[in-house]
Amino acid sequence: MNTSNDLGESARTESSRRQNLRRAARIGAAIAIIIVVGFAAWQLRHTFFGKQPSAGNSKAAPTSARELVDPGIKRTHDRWGQVVDPDGDCNISDRDGKLRIAVPAGDHTLATERQATNAPRVLQVIEGDFVVEVKVTCEFPLGAEGIFRTRVPVQGAGLLIWKDFANYIRVVRSQWGGNDNIRTFADCSVRRDSGPSIQSSYRGVNAVAGDIAYLRAERRGDQFSSFVSTNAVDWILLRTVSIELPSKLWVGVTASHNTSSPLAATFEDFKVTKLAAAEAK
């Protein structure tokens, strides 16, 4: 009898153990599914949030401000606009009319073609035709090394005209290359989710000698022109592009890089001038 009871108890124990194992497996599988689905949803939102209009409807206006600037809104500067810091690791300060963006080492860039749009930026809504200007002083690090073997080290700071993650125009003061092969220039790059791609356009070192440059962008309907200057008087045209964008856009400044060294940029004399219908022609 004792042997029978022991066998019965052992069988019940084994059955209970198996039930517990199956229950734990089901719970573990459910948790894994939740994690995978949550990560996928976060990745899609981080990459494509704000890209609501279809590829053939790039003039459609966003439904709300957060559609363009979220994620990463931290605060608003009265003069400059809303701060967007997707990774939450940049130092953005406003003092004596100057805005300083300090970006730590690591990839902080705007490159929608590789799903990277985590560069810090400060933006405000501008409607209709306009001219925007800013003075930018870049504290480019010496000997900065790229963090990607297949990409040239690059740092840059300047103006940003932004619809969403797939449609924007950037006019920046840039530095490319490493220790023995450094090039400095102004750069106008365009990204859009419809129509043929528009490659970057560069202006050589003579246009942006030194650490200070003045940058300017103009909108006249669907025509966008970009300029660089060393004195805010004599402007050199970088390029003019035609791109369909909504009447309301986010306009401001940004700083970005893909190196192992930090980057800091100071912006001042930021000015937006709205153009009347007659001036815009």
**pLDDT tens digits along 61-116:** 443 333 344 444 455 666 799 999 999 999 999 988 899 999 998 888 888 777 88
58 falls within a domain: no
53 falls within a domain: no
Cβ atoms of residues 259 and 147 within 8 Å: yes
Cβ atoms of residues 261 and 145 within 8 Å: yes
Q: Is the pTM of this model over 0.75?
A: no
Answer yes or no: do 81 and 138 share one domain: yes
Answer yes or no: do 264 and 204 share one domain: yes
168 falls within a domain: yes
Tens of pLDDT, residue by residue over 148-207, are 666 677 889 999 999 998 899 999 998 876 656 677 888 898 888 877 667 666 665 555
- What CATH number should be reported for the domain holding residue 126? 2.60.120.200
Question: 218 in helix, strand or coil?
Answer: strand
Answer yes or no: do 123 and 25 share one domain: no
Please compute Rg for the chain using Cα positions: 26
Answer yes or no: do 71 and 152 share one domain: yes
Query: Which of 121, 106, 199, 211 is CA-nearest to residue 164?
Result: 121
At residue 176, the pLDDT reads 74
Range(s) of the domain holding residue 34: 1-48
Answer yes or no: do 74 and 177 share one domain: yes
13 falls within a domain: yes
Answer yes or no: do 42 and 157 share one domain: no
Of residues 114 and 267, more confidently modeled: 267
Question: 75 in helix, strand or coil?
Answer: strand
Tens of pLDDT, residue by residue over 125-146, are 999 999 999 999 988 777 666 6
Tens of pLDDT, residue by residue over 191-233, are 888 776 676 666 655 556 567 899 999 999 999 999 999 889 9
27 falls within a domain: yes
Answer yes or no: do 149 and 255 share one domain: yes
Class of residue 260 by CB neighbours under 10 A (exposed 0-12, middle 13-18, buried 19+): middle
Answer yes or no: do 115 and 248 share one domain: yes
Total count of residues recorded for the chain: 281
Answer yes or no: do 11 and 141 share one domain: no
Angle made by CA atoms 272, 227, 133, in degrees to the nearest 5 = 20
The Cα 4–Cα 277 span in angstroms is: 98
164 falls within a domain: yes
Strand order in the sheet with 91-95: 91-95, 98-103, 263-274, 130-139, 212-220, 223-229, 236-242
At residue 180, the pLDDT reads 63
Answer yes or no: do 103 and 129 share one domain: yes
At residue 50, the pLDDT reads 36
- The structural domain count of the chain equals 2
Asked if residue 147 has pLDDT above 70, the reply is no
Tens of pLDDT, residue by residue over 8-57, are 555 566 666 677 777 777 787 777 777 766 655 544 444 333 333 333 33
105 falls within a domain: yes
At residue 183, the pLDDT reads 76
101 is written with which tokens?
């963006």
Answer yes or no: do 43 and 169 share one domain: no
Tens of pLDDT, residue by residue over 103-115, are 998 888 888 777 8
Answer yes or no: do 8 and 100 share one domain: no
